[in-house]
Chains A and B, each alone.
Chain A
Amino acid sequence: MSKMTLHLKIWRQKSRNAEGALEDHTIENILPEMSFLEMLDVLNEKLIKAGKEPIEFDSDCREGICGTCGLVINGVAHGPQHLTATCQLHMRTFRDGDTITIEPWRAKAFPILKDLVVDRAAFDRIIQKGGYVSANTGSARDANELPIGKEYADKSFDAAACIGCGACVAACPNASAALFVSAKVSQYTYLPQGHPERYRRVLKMVNQMDEEGFGNCSNHGECEAACPKGISIENIAIMRREYVKAALRAGAAVV
Chain B
Amino acid sequence: MQDTNKQSVVPGAIESILSIFDSTPGRKIITGLSGLGLVGFIIGHLAGNLSLFFGKDAFNAYAEKLHSLGPLLYVIELGLLAVFVFHIVFAITVTAQNKAARSRGYAVKGNAGKPSRKSLASQSMIYTGLLLLVFTVVHVWMFKYGPGINQGYVADVHGAPARDLYRLVAESFQNIWIVLGYSSIMVLLGFHIRHGFWSAFQSLGAYHPKYTPLIYAAGILLAVVLAVGFIAMPVYIYAFVKV
A interface with B by C-beta (< 8 Å): 9, 11, 22, 72, 74-77, 80, 82, 101, 103, 106-109, 171, 173-176, 178, 199-200, 203, 206-207, 209-210, 213-222, 224-226, 232-234, 236-241, 243-244, 247-255
- Nearest 4 A-B pairs (CB), nearest first? A75-B110, A252-B16, A215-B101, A237-B207
The minimal Cβ–Cβ distance linking B4 to chain A, given in whole angstroms, is 11
Could you write out 23 A-B pairs with CB less than 8 Å apart?
Answer: A76-B112, A103-B107, A108-B102, A175-B98, A215-B101, A216-B28, A219-B203, A220-B117, A220-B118, A221-B115, A225-B118, A237-B205, A240-B28, A240-B29, A240-B204, A243-B25, A244-B26, A244-B29, A244-B205, A252-B17, A252-B20, A253-B16, A254-B16
The CA-CA distance from A76 to B220 in the complex, in Å, is 26
- Is there an interface contact between B106 and A72, defined as CB atoms closer than 8 Å? yes
Q: Are B101 and A243 in contact (CB under 8 A)?
A: no
- Residue in B25, B115, B116, B205 with the greatest tally of chain A CB atoms within 10 Å: B25
- A252:B98 contact, CB within 8 angstroms: no
Tell me, in angstroms, the Cα distance from A248 to B208 when the chains sit together: 23
Does the CB pair A107–B22 fall under 8 Å? no
Are A213 and B28 in contact (CB-based, < 8 A)? no
Interface size class, chain B: 35 or more
A254 partner residues in chain B, CB cutoff 8 A: 8, 11, 16, 19
Q: Mark B208-223, 1 if CB is under 8 A from A, else 0.
A: 1100000000000000
Complex Cα distance, B51 from A123, in Å, reads 56
Known A240-B203, A252-B16: A101·B108 in contact at CB below 8 Å: yes
Bound form: Cα–Cα A75–B110 in Å: 4
Residues of A within 8 A of B116 (CB): 220-222, 224-226
For the complex, give the distance between the alpha carbons of A216 and B98 in Å.
6
CA distance A213 to B103 in the complex (A): 11
Known contacts A240-B205, A244-B29, A247-B20; is-contact A174 B98 (Cβ 8 Å): yes
Question: Interface residues, chain B, CB within 8 Å of chain A?
Answer: 1, 3, 8, 11, 13, 15-17, 19-20, 22-29, 94, 97-98, 100-118, 122-123, 125, 195, 198-199, 202-209
Given contacts A75-B109, A240-B29, contact A178 B24 (CB under 8 A): yes
Q: A243-B23, A253-B23 are in contact. Are A234 and B209 (CB under 8 A)?
A: yes
Separation of A214 and B26 alpha carbons in the complex (Å): 15
Let me know if A75 and B106 touch, CB within 8 A: yes
List chain A residues, Cβ under 8 A from B28. Answer: 216-217, 240
Given A174-B101, A252-B11 in contact, is the A222-B112 Cβ separation under 8 Å?
A: yes
CB-CB < 8 A to A251: which residues of B?
A: 13, 16-17
Q: How far is the CB of B160 from chain A (nearest CB, A)?
A: 50
Partner of B125, one of A218, A222, A233: A218
Report chain A residues within 8 Å CB of B13: 251
- A22 nearest CB neighbor, chain B only: B107
Instruction: Specify which chain A residues have a CB less than 8 angstroms from the CB of B102 in the assembled complex.
Output: 106-108, 174-175, 215
Complex Cα gap A237–B201 (Å): 9
In the complex, what distance in Å separates the CA atom of A233 from the CA atom of B202?
Answer: 9
Residues of B within 8 A of A240 (CB): 25, 28-29, 203-205
Q: Apart from A216-B24, A218-B98, what are 19 other A-B pairs with CB-CB below 8 Å?
A: A72-B106, A82-B113, A103-B107, A108-B101, A109-B101, A175-B102, A209-B24, A215-B101, A216-B97, A219-B122, A220-B116, A220-B122, A226-B116, A234-B207, A234-B208, A237-B207, A244-B29, A244-B205, A253-B22
Closest Cβ of chain B to A187, distance in Å, is: 16
Q: Per a CB cutoff under 8 Å, which of A178, A200, A220 touches B123?
A: A220
| B112 contacts across to A, CB distance below 8 A | 76-77, 82, 171, 222, 225-226
Q: Which residues of B contact A207 (CB under 8 A)?
A: 23
Q: Give Cα distance in the complex from A234 to B202, angstroms.
A: 8
Please name all residues of chain A whose beta carbon is closer than 8 Å to the beta carbon of B106 when the two chains form the complex: 72, 75, 103, 106
